[in-house]
Amino acid sequence: MRVAHPTRASLALADGAPLLELTDVKVSYGGIKALKGVDLRVFPGEIVAMIGANGAGKTTTLKSIMGLVPLAGGAVKLAGRPLAQDTTEQRVAEGISLAPEGRAIFPNLTVLENLELGAYLHRDAKAMKETLEDVTELFPRLGERMKQEGGTLSGGEQQMLAIGRALMARPRLLLLDEPSLGIAPKLVQQIFRAIAEIARSGVTILLVEQNTRIALSTSQRAYVLRTGEIALEGDAKELASNPEIQAAYLGG
């Protein structure tokens, strides 16, 4: 994967400083507190997993990073800079991409058009062509279906499309929301191999996942979210052997 983008300045990041930092992030929906103060840090080059039950606030955390929900408190910082004033579009331009829950591809657009839209803010023709090559190399199935409408793809292929589409912006930080949701186990393996591959090329990844086993085995560090708060955090391998986690999320 080629990840440096020709039209975007590279970030000056001090050694050991986090790429993404959430401090005391609070979000509420009409009086219901969805996030009660989340602290989270993602360092460059990492795969960080966020696990937790349904309704724990995982998707909301990602939405707050993208600016899709208003913050009731706290701050989101990218490379030390607060994002509070930035619109979703600006955040995309700064190099954050989200492959949303349930894929949310554009069903009546072709696969190619879906991917092109991923590069909406980076229309450099050469870079687009290169990234398109990289994405089809990563997901050969997409290459075979370029002219097909997105809505005709299988669930797994749609997930590949959603990730590929997010990659078209050549993000520094890739947010993945439940990439294994509703997908055949064989394809889940493929998708997670691709995720590891993306990370190796230098993209930082924050991965939200209910499939705790695969999430912990893919990531280096992990956060456990429980009813809008961080309940546990730490090294992914240690968490995987934590009896509490095993009981609650790994089925024994």
Partner 1 sequence: MNILEAVFTGITQGAMIALVALGYTMVYGVLKLINFAHSEVFMMAAYFGLVFLSLLIGDVSAVNGIVSPEAASSTFAGVFGALRGHPLAAAAAATVLAMLAASALGIGVERVAYKPLRGRGKGALVRVTPLVTALGMSVLLQNLAQLLFTARFRPYPQVLSGEVQVPGLGAITSSRALILGASIIVMIGLELIVKRTWFGKAMRALSANEEAARLMGVRTSRVISMTFALGSSLAALGAVLFCLDQSQVYPTMGVVIGTRAFVAAVLGGIGSITGAMLGGLLIGIIGELVKLTDYSGGVDVLVFLVLILVLLVRPAGLLGSTRTEKV
Partner 2 sequence: MARGQAGKSGGLRWSRLAVGAGVLGVALLCDLYLADFVHDSSIRQLFMLAACNVLVASSLNVINGMAGQFSIGHAGFVGLGGYTSAVIASNLHEMLGGGEPTFARSFIVVPVCLLASATLAGIFGFLVGLPSLRLRGDYLAIVTLGFAEIFRLVIATAQAGEDGSPIARALSRLGGQNGYMGIDNQGIPLYAGPFWVFGLAFVLGVVAWRIKFSGWGRALRALREDEIAAAAVGVDPTRYKVTSFVIAAVGAGVAGGLMAIMRDGTPIVNPDNYNFQASFDAITMVILGGSGSVTGAAIGGVFITFSIKAIEQVQATSAVQALRREFESLDLNALRMIVYALVLVLLMVVRPEGLLGERELFQKRRGGRGGSGPDAPRAGAKAEAA
By the rule CB under 8 A, 55 interacts with partner 2 = yes
By the rule CB under 8 A, 61 interacts with partner 2 = no
Sheet holding 73-78, edge to edge: 32-42, 20-29, 73-78, 81-82
Binding-site member from 9, 10, 30, 85 for partner 2 (CB under 8 A): 30
Question: H helices of the chain, where?
Answer: 58-66, 88-93, 111-118, 125-138, 140-144, 155-167, 185-200, 212-218, 236-241, 243-249
Return the number of other C-beta atoms located less than 10 Å from residue 168's C-beta: 23
Binding-site member from 44, 52, 118, 164 for partner 1 (CB under 8 A): 118
- Which one, of 232, 228, 212, 174, lies nearest residue 58 by Cα? 228
Binding-site member from 3, 117, 146, 250 for partner 1 (CB under 8 A): 117
3-class state of residue 157 by DSSP: helix
Binding-site member from 105, 160, 236, 245 for partner 1 (CB under 8 A): 105
Return the number of other C-beta atoms located less than 10 Å from residue 186's C-beta: 9
Whole-Å CA distances, 187 to 6, 45, 110, 113: 32, 25, 21, 23
- Pick 34 or 168: Cβ nearer partner 2: 34
By the rule CB under 8 A, 129 interacts with partner 1 = no
Binding-site member from 92, 160, 161, 188 for partner 1 (CB under 8 A): 92
Q: What minimum distance in Å lies between the beta carbon of 166 and partner 1?
A: 8
For residues 252 and 205, give the distance between their C-alpha atoms in angstroms, rounded to a whole number: 28
By the rule CB under 8 A, 34 interacts with partner 2 = yes
Whole-Å CA distances, 142 to 50, 115, 158, 215: 27, 10, 9, 24
By the rule CB under 8 A, 124 interacts with partner 1 = no
Binding-site member from 104, 184, 196, 247 for partner 1 (CB under 8 A): 104
- Pick 90 or 189: Cβ nearer partner 1: 90
Whether 84 and 75 have beta carbons less than 8 Å apart is answered as: yes
Whole-Å CA distances, 32 to 36, 212, 247: 10, 26, 28
Binding-site member from 73, 80, 81, 88 for partner 1 (CB under 8 A): 88
By the rule CB under 8 A, 172 interacts with partner 1 = no
Binding-site member from 38, 60, 96, 156 for partner 2 (CB under 8 A): 60
| Region near partner 1 per CB under 8 A, out of 137-145, 164-172, 202-210, 221-229 | 164-172
Interface ranges with partner 1 (CB under 8 A): 30, 66, 68, 87-89, 92-93, 97-98, 100, 104-109, 113, 116-118, 120-121, 123, 165-166, 169
Interface ranges with partner 2 (CB under 8 A): 29-32, 34, 54-55, 60
